[in-house]
Amino acid sequence: MNTYKYIEDYIDDDLNRDELKSFLDEVKDNKTMAAELNLRMEINSVIHDKGFSELKDILEKQKISDRQNNSPINIRREVMKTWHMAAASFALVVVAGGLWYILSNKPYTTEKLVGKYYKPAQPIGQVRGQASGNETLAKAFSLYKQNDYNNALNYFASLSNRITSKFYSGICYIELKKYDDAIESFKAVVDDNDNLYVEQADWYLGLIYLMNNQKKAAIDQFNKISAGDSYYAGQAKEIVKYIR
């Protein structure tokens, strides 16, 4: 299997039904491939939501990881294209930098922290690729993208893919401010511990505790994240600093 091609095709929604099944089976058994998929999805998410500075952080983190593992640093041409995609936002980041420096030294309210760090998860990339074999999933994501979270929940609840259902149901519950239900959904994902959503589910749990004014639980959760090697470790440390 051409790993990078299949990852790109997965993200671009270009896999047919059989290719998708083969790809997901391979990701489940291949930790290296799963790590690369996570990296690419994080890069896409950062470009979509946050811009140049956090993209740089991701790529720098990947370089350090490669050095520590004594593997050659070889950021592929396709990944480097993301620099060009993010460059357009660089000027805005620089202009905002001075203001951010001032604001960052002021106390943060819960609302400001949530506004800074919370973004709903994007639907997974292969919705069209699964539509023929799983119309329920396609409909669930269609409603999710329309912010029709109540009806999306009904479709997610009927899915056979329990982990995907639980993860996106958790986001729906957050948007509906049903925090106890959201906590239950994300804890199920974390407890499973054998899926691609674990790091994100841990992150959202911390944010839910923050939203729900459960300060001690939020600090404990973000300390747990910051002590690991999750992509969210740095952001978790920042939040703990702001809410102590």
pLDDT tens digits, one per residue of 107-127: 568 888 888 899 999 887 554
Query: In the chain, what percentage of residues exceed pLDDT 70?
Result: 65
Higher pLDDT among residues 76 and 194, named by residue:
194
Quick: pLDDT tens for 151-163: 999 999 998 778 9
CA dist 85 and 80 (Å) reads 9
CA dist 127 and 12 (Å) reads 10
Instruction: Tell me the domains of the chain and their CATH numbers.
Output: 3-104 (no CATH), 110-243 (1.25.40.10)
| Residue labelled with tokens 């199920």 | 188
Higher pLDDT among residues 67 and 188, named by residue:
188
Residue 184 has pLDDT above 70, yes or no: yes
**What's the pLDDT score for residue 69?**
60
- Kindly give, in sequence order, each residue whose CB lies less than 8 Å from that of residue 174, ignoring residues fewer than 6 positions away: 118, 120, 182, 204, 207, 208, 211
CA dist 208 and 172 (Å) reads 12
**What's the pLDDT score for residue 65?**
62
The dihedrals phi and psi of 19, each to the nearest 5 degrees, come to -65, -40
Q: How many residues belong to the chain? A: 244
